[in-house]
Structure 1
Amino acid sequence: VARQFIFRMREFEQMEMQFFIKPGTQMEWYDFWKENRLKWHKSLGLGADNYRFHDHEKLAHYADAASDIEFKFPFGFKELEGIHSRTDFDLKAHEEHSGKKLQYFDHEENKSYTPYVLETSIGLDRMFLAVFSSSLMEEELENNTTRTVLKLPAVLAPTKAAIFPLIKRDGLPEIAKQIVEDLKWDFNVTYDEKDAVGKRYRRQDAAGTPFCITVDHDTIEDKTVTIRHRDTMEQKRVAIADLKAIIAQEVDVKHWLQKM
């Protein structure tokens, strides 16, 4: 690590996409990917005000447009992702050094051309830092206590739900473990019966678990449980049969992408 925690590392992971396009359409696609990549970042719920574009005035010799998506880290706005219109520099260089043509035949125009490249490049380490630096917080509660809560985007949270029996007797642990058994095929879930329920809530808040599900004596009678949302601490009574759909709506990648 060079400085600024893991923002600058001597070895780092980079996620890149090279999108091949028709020459002359690069500005259209440049604007498209700027808009869509920013939309993707904002969909994680880390705060729209934490993002901004920095358009480059000085360009590399092969580029005709370049912009960074910057994120507001604890040490200020810094680059998170780069979006670059690289013209035909990449494929022309490959052609030159390989001696092989890398052209595309356009049937609509009945001609061949070397595609231009629109590149997006995002740092995995910086993305990790952006998520954690904005998710971990201390909250003041109404009863003059504080809680440590890791408000990870639900789609990224490693554990999606924790299931508790209110007490360790009267058949409640058995029901809770059956719920774990039913949910584990779709989500990463955990079981906890140690300490009072309030302490269990705090543990899961700190671990970033989006949902806590409590089994109590009413569960035996009506097959409902209390589900608590990590961020709002709101509690609702829901049917055990509805748990899978409720959790999936928040944590499923498909639903997250559809909401974008």
Structure 2
Amino acid sequence: FLNVQQATRQKVPFGIAQIGKAFRNEITPGNFTFRTREFEQMEMQFFVEPGTDMDWFEKWKAWRREWHVGLGLDDSRLQFHQHGEKELAHYARAAFDIEFDFGGTLGFQEIEGVHNRSDFDLKQHQEFSAKRLEYVDQAANKRYLPYVIETSVGADRVTLAVMVNAYREEAVAGEDEGRTVMRFHPGLAPITAGVFPLTKKDGQPEMAERVAADLRKRFPVFYDDAGAIGRRYRRQDEAGTPFGITVDGDSTRNDDVTIRFRDDLAQIRVAAAQAGEVIAGYLAKDHPVAEASRA
């Protein structure tokens, strides 16, 4: 706290966040990824003035839930679990877990904890280091030990939640076989766009490769020319790729492409040179093309 505060001239309130490996002396590991001795952890401590701590605690509760929803998690599958009197640590003023419904036998499991740790952390450090850690509020002409609002996220658990939330097995109108699709938030998808020539003739592969090369300057792109176009779409659906770009006979004549949307299977026709801008617009959620333009 003191090193960061003095080195960066921070004023309370401010926070310190980090991500890395965490280790726990777990006596009985198990329950899949929920009880392990080694895991990836994201943690933040936000330092606030005493007396404002519960207001900040409520804000961070709301912000942290919004963060998970922003990853694409279904809000109806999230819930808060308040620590009761027997669960609450002796130094904590309040504690809530954010839980996600993984379904099946797992049900709701904790993916993050949000805690008001009062001044316990800095008081302990101050006592055992024999170093004053009080913050000097020059404007108010007072000193105090900040209270800490802590958020602690299991990155492994959130990753699993994102995958469980995204997985779908869906029927497709007009087709005997359904499809398996990973409905990742477009910003989280490992591959942003798949590029497919409809056939291996009439200059379509060459144009598709040019389109793919241009898009790779901005996004992760997968080029696929093997098999029927429907199967290529399905492979990318299973990988969670949000956009499929097809080069067909009209493309080579008109220098345009078809963009297929993973989630609703809608398609739009755009100039090949504008494909990257269209995708970027959808990723930013502010694309000027209206929904009505989808064919």
* TM bracket (short chain): over 0.9
Q: Unaligned stretches of 5+ in structure 1?
A: 256-260
Aligned residues of 1:13 and 1:123 also touching (Cα < 8 A): yes
How far is the alpha carbon of 1:252 from its aligned partner?
5.6
1:68 corresponds to which of 83, 97, 102: 97
How far is the alpha carbon of 1:9 from its aligned partner?
2.0
Q: Unaligned stretches of 5+ in structure 2?
A: 1-27, 288-295
Q: What is the TM-score with the length of structure 1 in the denominator?
A: 0.93
Q: How does 1:127-206 map to 2 (within 5 A)?
A: 127-142=158-173, 143-206=175-238
Percent identity for Structure 1 against Structure 2: 52
Opposite residue 250 of structure 2, the aligned amino acid is D
Q: What is the TM-score with the length of structure 2 in the denominator?
A: 0.82
Q: What is the CA RMSD across the aligned residues, in angstroms?
A: 1.8
- Does structure 1 residue 17 correspond to structure 2 residue 44? yes
Structure with the bigger RCO (C-alpha within 8 Å, sep 6+) is 1
User: Partners of 2:124 and 2:184 in 1: how far apart?
Assistant: 42
1:229 corresponds to which of 258, 261, 278: 261
Aligned residues of 1:155 and 1:250 also touching (Cα < 8 A): no
User: Partners of 1:250 and 1:156 in 2: how far apart?
Assistant: 13
Aligned residues of 2:72 and 2:162 also touching (Cα < 8 A): no
Aligned to 2:120: 89
How far is the alpha carbon of 1:246 from its aligned partner?
2.1
User: Partners of 1:224 and 1:190 in 2: how far apart?
Assistant: 19
Change in Cα spacing, 1:3 to 1:139, as seen in structure 2 (3 Å) is farther
How far is the alpha carbon of 1:253 from its aligned partner?
10
1:38 corresponds to which of 49, 54, 65: 65
Change in Cα spacing, 1:253 to 1:219, as seen in structure 2 (3 Å) is closer
How far is the alpha carbon of 1:241 from its aligned partner?
2.5
How far is the alpha carbon of 1:251 from its aligned partner?
3.7
User: Partners of 1:140 and 1:49 in 2: how far apart?
Assistant: 23
User: Partners of 2:98 and 2:172 in 1: how far apart?
Assistant: 34
SS of residue matched to 1:94: helix
Which deviates further from its counterpart, 101-110 or 2-11? 2-11
SS of residue matched to 1:13: strand
Consecutive aligned runs of 4 or more in structure 1 exceeding 4 Å deviation: 252-255
User: Partners of 2:60 and 2:80 in 1: how far apart?
Assistant: 12
User: Partners of 2:39 and 2:252 in 1: how far apart?
Assistant: 52
Aligned to 1:105: 136
Which deviates further from its counterpart, 136-145 or 203-212? 136-145
Change in Cα spacing, 1:145 to 1:154, as seen in structure 2 (3 Å) is same
Aligned residues of 2:133 and 2:145 also touching (Cα < 8 A): yes
Opposite residue 196 of structure 1, the aligned amino acid is A
SS of residue matched to 2:38: coil
